[in-house]
Amino acid sequence: MPAGINIKTGKVHYWFYDWKNSFVVIECLEKLLEEYSGKEIYVIMDNWSAHKSYDIKVWNTLHPRMHLVYLPSGASFLNKIERVFSFLSRDVLQNSNFQTVREAMENISNYFDNGGSIMV
């Protein structure tokens, strides 16, 4: 589940995909461009290879409002979304017994849409 957090508002942006790769990352970045139309956007990312792929670099040159900033290697503790995922795991996923993927997705959506993990 790709996700990001607006560190100014605490809003968590998340998307459900069956897989993660650089093309999914690009789709998510494009959704952020739409949501924050006309604004400069800074996205802080870890060093996952899909975040630094050739496709991402080419896409980024065509979208100058999007500024991609990469964390230093070994600095995952600086990545706010990791803390969000930790809270999600604790508050929703641990000790759960979802019967379907859809049920899990609905619970995750309810959590984020109702202010879950707002205090990062």
SS3 content of the chain, % helix, strand, coil (to 5): 45, 15, 40
Q: What are phi and psi for residue 11, nearest 5 degrees?
A: -65, 130
The neighbouring-strand residues paired with 44 are: 69
pTM > 0.85: no
What is the per-residue pLDDT for 119?
Answer: 53
Tens of pLDDT, residue by residue over 30-70, are 999 999 999 999 999 988 889 999 999 999 999 999 999 99
**Domains and their CATH numbers in the chain:** 3-113 (3.30.420.10)
Give the number of other CB atoms < 10 A from CB of residue 5: 21
Q: Once rounded to an integer, what is the mean pLDDT over residues 107-120?
A: 79
Report which secondary-structure segment, H or E, holds 111.
Answer: helix 101-113
**1 has pLDDT over 60:** yes
CA distance 91 to 115: 12
